[in-house]
Amino acid sequence: SQQGEEDPQALSIQEGENATMNCSYKTSINNLQWYRQNSGRGLVHLILIRSNEREKHSGRLRVTLDTSKKSSSLLITASRAADTASYFCATDGTGANSKLTFGKGITLSVRP
Amino acid sequence: NAGVMQNPRHLVRRRGQEARLRCSPMKGHSHVYWYRQLPEEGLKFMVYLQKENIIDESGMPKERFSAEFPKEGPSILRIQQVVRGDSAAYFCASSPPGHYEQYFGPGTRLTVT
């Protein structure tokens, strides 16, 4: 079964708008991470939020975590065409250097 | 510092042949992970290795698949007697000890004809 489930599955916005993507998970976690994948490429780590944190910022990215609802959201502000990619949340449950469990991903299209 | 290297980038095999996928982790990274991605899907964990040790192979099919990370050289994911269902993108990631983030290679796209 999927540990991370993102929604929406696809999102299309205009350049300059904000993009919000959500992720839900089923079991307890250590950390939750967000990755980006450009078409045909590998994944790039964006941001990690620990289970005892509620919000974290990195540049135009803001991630929140609600462990009571087992959900997280990723906000990209002032989107750019270059943000067009697939975004995945991933959870790890057993400490450092453990496997990651990914959701199916969200396809974000930013129209110029 | 070069990133995670994978080769080949594309691999075509006929049913029944063997596929060997190679992964060289980033310098200083002693932990290697293999994931498989089917079209329109997220990544599925296969195996986690350290030098000369398999730490977690809970996502690896019991038959035809094997992985190694020798003392010298790259990590190898080996698929024997490939079938059409093995067609996928295979990604390798690495991390240094004590880290949660993983650094991914560009992937090997395996096509079984």
Q: Specify the pLDDT at position A95.
A: 72
Mean pLDDT of B3-16: 97
pLDDT at A3: 56
Residues of B in contact with A101 (CB under 8 A): 45
- Interface of B to A at Cβ within 8 Å reads 4, 31, 33, 35, 40-45, 48, 56, 58-59, 91, 93, 95, 97-107
Token pair, residue A95, equals: 């400490």
- Which tens digit of pLDDT belongs to each residue from B67-83? 999 999 999 999 999 99
pLDDT of residue A8: 76
A83 touches chain B (CB under 8 A): no
CA distances from A63 to A21, A76, A107, A110 (A): 10, 9, 17, 19
**Chain B residues near residue A98 by CB distance under 8 angstroms:** 48, 56
Query: Smallest CA–CA separation between A36 and chain B, in Å?
Result: 11
* Residues B8-34: b if buried by 16+ CB within 10 A, e if exposed: eeebebeeeeebebbbbbbeebebbbb
Minimum Cα–Cα distance from B102: chain A residue: A45
Stretch B53-58: mean pLDDT, rounded?
A: 94
CB contact under 8 A, A41 and B98: no
Residue ranges of A 13-52 with Cβ closer than 8 A to chain B: 30-31, 33, 35, 41-45, 48
Percentage of the residues of chain B whose pLDDT score is greater than 90: 88
Residue A97 in contact with partner chain B when CB distance is under 8 A: yes
In tens, the pLDDT along B76-104 reads: 999 999 999 999 999 999 999 888 899 99
**Averaged pLDDT, groups of 10, chain A, 112 residues long:** 67 96 90 93 94 96 96 96 95 81 92 93
Place of tokens 């967000």: A34
For A100, the closest of B4, B45, B97 (CB atoms) is: B45
What is the per-residue pLDDT for A2?
A: 39
